[in-house]
Amino acid sequence: MLVKKWMTKDVITVNADDSMQHAIHILKEHKLRLLPVMDKGELVGIISDGDLKKASPSDATSLDIHELIYLTSKIKIKDLMKKNPYRISPDTSAEEAAAIMLEKRISGLPVTDDKGKLEGIITKSDIFRLLISLTCLAGRGIQIAIQLKDNPGSIKEMRDIIHQFKGRTASVLSSSEKSPDGFINVYLRIYDIERNTIPSILEEMKKHGELLYVIDHKDNTRQIFEV
Collapsing DSSP to helix, strand or coil, 155 comes out as: helix
Indicate whether this model's pTM tops 0.85.
no
CA 80, 86, 92, 93 dihedral sign is negative
d(CA 162, CA 174): 16
State how far the alpha carbon of 140 is from the alpha carbons of 17, 20, 43, 145, in Å: 47, 43, 40, 16
> Could you tell me the domains of the chain?
3-132 (3.10.580.10), 140-224 (3.30.70.260)
Residue 60 has a pLDDT of 39
Per-residue pLDDT tens digits for 152-193: 999 999 999 999 999 988 888 898 888 899 999 999 999 888
**Bridge partners (DSSP) listed for residue 171:** 189
Q: 10 Å Cβ neighbour count for 9?
A: 10
Q: Tell me which residue of 1, 222, 190, 195 sits closest to 92, measured CA to CA.
A: 1
Please give the pLDDT value at position 140: 73
- The more confidently predicted of residues 134 and 87 is 87
Average pLDDT (60-68) is 51
